[in-house]
Amino acid sequence: MNFSFKSLKFKAILLMLLAFISILLIIILGAFMMSIESHINMLKFILFGVSLICVTIISLLFHFLIKSILIPIDRVSKAMEKMAEGDFKQQLSISGDNEIGAMERSFNLLSQKLLSTYDLIEKVNSGESFEHTFEYVFNTFKQFIPYNRIGMAVIDDQEEIIRAEIARSDNVKIHLRNGYSLPLAKTSLKQVIESGQPRIINDLKKYKARHPHSESTHLIVKEGIQSSLTLPLKVNDKCIGVLFFSSIHKNTYNDSHIVFLNHIASHISISFEKSILVGDLILAAITGFAKLAESRDNDTGRHIERMRNYSVAIARQLANYPQYFDIITEKYIRDIHNFSPLHDIGKVGIKDSILLKPGKLSPDEFEVMKTHTLIGAKVLEKTQEVLKNKDKNFFTIGIEIALFHHEKYNGKGYPYGLKKEQIPLSARIVAVADVFDALTSKRPYKSAMTVEKSLEIIIKEKGKSFDPDVVDAFLQSQAEILKIYRSLSDDYSELQTSG
Ligand code: C2E
Ligand code: SIN
Ligand code: SIN
Ligand code: FE
């Protein structure tokens, strides 16, 4: 607060000065009256008036002390007491545009900060989904910390890459989107991760000039971002990724932001780890069950791995198409990764005489076979109910995949004969992966086809059985698909060893 004539300091000095002059005047006048023993009424009257003014000024000083300082301080101290007792919902009305007002404003901010942080902790503890938690942080802490964008990137230990996980921005257009990945060794983030120390860049344009090949900087500058604060995300001392707070203004960040943001970052890491961990536990159990089910008509667990990898490869490719930007998030890809292997879990309900029949199924038998989609969805719905997982949508993608992976784009599939976008995208993706894998694999009722022949069939079915976009994405990721096929194909390894 500057020294202005609105400030209490100014008013207090002025009043004290006036009071001092008043007291001086009273003393001088008193001495004067006593010394001259005057009988002039006029003079007496004037002396009386001046004394009255002096007394008024002194009373004003006391009034000011009580009303402008003591009462507001008392209110702040009472509110502070309540806050110490744990009642963070304390808001004071601002008594004026002065020092006390500034104190009241700081107090209100402190109480809001505590309340929001407390809410965040509660959300994390109660197992609120990571996406909701992230959204909450973006919307809530704006009032305390300057930012226009929050992004998070996660380390993939296996692949030694760092991948943008999620971002929220005031801007309509996010260029540095989720899924964007870089080899860890190639980014400047390595320093943040290894040192565990936050990094502030207060002029990204200048930074970009010095690092002309940093694509991530290029993308973020294109979004209009000018400064950023990067914090390591740690769980039990292990760095799992980084959190970016960024602003469209230059020179936004300084060390004073770090303590509070580190605090936020630790809650975000816990929320993220928690969501992954709980999911992993549930999925480990279910996937074990699925493997058991698969083993009846599939001799190895490789089918499960291939399905997963084909589906993820297609989804990653599709994520580059603008029309899927908002749909295919990192969470979506994780769901595809986790649930695509469960697509045929309903086969547990199909008896051996049908499932393992060496020859062609009769129409009646095929009708029974078709129910594996309905059974699979039921199994996952029941699991969802039994687990009472807080996240009611945990199995949604899994259920979609199990139920709809035999629907066809032209409406000629089963169980419901849905068409085009009526079929969930997850199921449209898995359908292509499933058929490609079925074609290139040996089954009790068929031998394996070559990759070339299988690709031909997929291409022929574009727009008929399959979503044309999904087939395009599949074909664009052919190199990756073949790599998966080669590394995981039973037949290919047989060919390799026998030939
Ligand atoms: P699956 O063996 O995993 O096959 C999945 C899907 O791949 C099939 O779904 C079909 O769309 C495609 N597919 C598999 N083999 C071929 C093929 O040789 N040519 C072509 N064009 N497409 C193929 P579909 O037909 O709805 O079958 C679902 C499941 O029903 C199959 O899963 C399999 O477990 C069973 N099934 C289908 N036909 C027969 C059969 O003739 N005999 C037996 N024992 N089971 C069958
Ligand atoms: C981000 O800013 O959201 C991610 C940055 C990266 O992946 O390098
Ligand atoms: C980078 O670290 O390469 C980009 C800067 C940022 O996203 O904060
Ligand atoms: Fe199936």
pLDDT band at residue 304 using 50, 70 and 90 as cut-offs: confident
Candidate of 149, 154, 159, 162 to mutate for ligand 2, largest count of ligand atoms within 8 Å of Cβ: 162
Over residues 428-487, the pLDDT tens digits come to: 999 999 999 999 998 888 899 999 999 999 999 999 999 999 999 999 999 999 999 998
Helical (H) or strand (E) element with 440: helix 425-440
- Cα 212 to ligand 3 centroid, rounded to whole Å: 12
* Residue 292: pLDDT over 80: no
Confirm or reject: Cβ of 357 under 6 Å from ligand 1: yes
b/e per residue 158-171 (b: at least 16 CB within 10 A): eeebbbbbbbbbee
Burial of 336 (0-12, 13-18, 19+ CB in 10 A): buried
For residue 440, give the nearest of 426, 422, 452, 428 by alpha carbon: 452
Over residues 173-188, the pLDDT tens digits come to: 788 888 888 888 888 8
Q: What's the confidence (pLDDT) of residue 497?
A: 42
b/e per residue 81-107 (b: at least 16 CB within 10 A): eebeeeebebebebbeebbbbebbeeb
Which residue would you say has higher pLDDT here, 273 or 46? 273
pTM value is 0.79
Confirm or reject: Cβ of 164 under 6 Å from ligand 2: yes
Confirm or reject: Cβ of 216 under 6 Å from ligand 2: yes
Q: Quick one: average pLDDT of 326-341?
A: 93
Q: Quick one: average pLDDT of 224-253?
A: 94
pLDDT band at residue 334 using 50, 70 and 90 as cut-offs: very high
Place of tokens 């297609």: 314
Measured distance CA(133)–CA(272) in Å, rounded: 9
Under 8 Å between Cβ of 291 and 346: no
Q: What's the confidence (pLDDT) of residue 197?
A: 92
- C-alpha pair distances (Å), 16 with each of 58, 64, 343, 458: 8, 11, 83, 91
Q: What's the confidence (pLDDT) of residue 67?
A: 86
- Strands of the sheet containing 161-169, edge to edge, are 181-183, 161-169, 149-156, 238-247, 227-235, 199-201
Ligand nearest to the Cα of 303, by number: 1
Confirm or reject: Cβ of 442 under 6 Å from ligand 1: no
Protein residue closest via CA to atom 8 of ligand 2: 216
β 227-235/238-247 pair status = antiparallel
pLDDT band at residue 2 using 50, 70 and 90 as cut-offs: low
- Cα 317 to ligand 1 centroid, rounded to whole Å: 26
How far is C-alpha 456 from the chain's CA centre? 41
Ligand nearest to the Cα of 151, by number: 2
Candidate of 439, 442, 447, 456 to mutate for ligand 1, largest count of ligand atoms within 8 Å of Cβ: 439
Protein residue closest via CA to atom 7 of ligand 2: 164
For residue 301, give the nearest of 427, 493, 490, 480 by alpha carbon: 490
* Residue 42: pLDDT over 60: yes
Measured distance CA(280)–CA(43) in Å, rounded: 96
Protein residue closest via CA to atom 8 of ligand 1: 435
Phi, psi (deg, nearest 5) at residue 446: -155, 160
Helical (H) or strand (E) element with 230: strand 227-235
Phi, psi (deg, nearest 5) at residue 443: -130, 165
Q: What's the confidence (pLDDT) of residue 495?
A: 46
- Cα 462 to ligand 2 centroid, rounded to whole Å: 35
Candidate of 150, 161, 165, 189 to mutate for ligand 3, largest count of ligand atoms within 8 Å of Cβ: 189
Over residues 110-166, the pLDDT tens digits come to: 899 999 999 999 998 888 889 999 999 999 999 899 999 999 999 988 778 899 999
- Give 175's contacts (C-beta < 8 A, 6+ positions apart): 219, 220, 222, 223
Measured distance CA(412)–CA(409) in Å, rounded: 7
Helix, strand or coil for residue 452? helix
DSSP secondary structure of 317-352: HHTTSGGGTTTS-HHHHHHHHHHGGGTTGGGGGS-H
| Nearest atom of ligand 3 to the alpha carbon of 244 | 8
b/e per residue 347-370 (b: at least 16 CB within 10 A): bbbbeeebbeeeeeeeeebeebbe
Average pLDDT, the chain: 88
Q: What's the confidence (pLDDT) of residue 478?
A: 96
DSSP class of residue 395 equals T
Least confident of 197-201, 249-253, 299-303, 459-463: 299-303
Ligand nearest to the Cα of 184, by number: 2
Phi, psi (deg, nearest 5) at residue 477: -100, 25
Q: Which amino acid, residue 201?
A: I
Confirm or reject: Cβ of 399 under 6 Å from ligand 2: no
Ligand nearest to the Cα of 415, by number: 1
Tokens found for residue 204: 């990204």
DSSP class of residue 68 equals I
pLDDT band at residue 299 using 50, 70 and 90 as cut-offs: low
Q: What's the confidence (pLDDT) of residue 37?
A: 65
Tokens found for residue 497: 């060893």
- Give 124's contacts (C-beta < 8 A, 6+ positions apart): 133, 267, 270, 271, 274
Beta bridge partners of 193: none
Residue 194 CB coordination number (10 Å): 11
Q: What is the percent of the chain where pLDDT is above 90?
A: 53
* Residue 77: pLDDT over 50: yes
pLDDT band at residue 496 using 50, 70 and 90 as cut-offs: very low
Candidate of 369, 414, 453 to mutate for ligand 1, largest count of ligand atoms within 8 Å of Cβ: 369
Q: Quick one: average pLDDT of 422-429?
A: 98
Ligand nearest to the Cα of 298, by number: 1
Long-range contacts of 255-261 (CB under 8 A, 24+ apart): 255/200, 257/145, 257/229, 258/198, 258/229, 258/231, 260/113, 260/144, 260/145, 261/145, 261/198, 261/229, 261/231
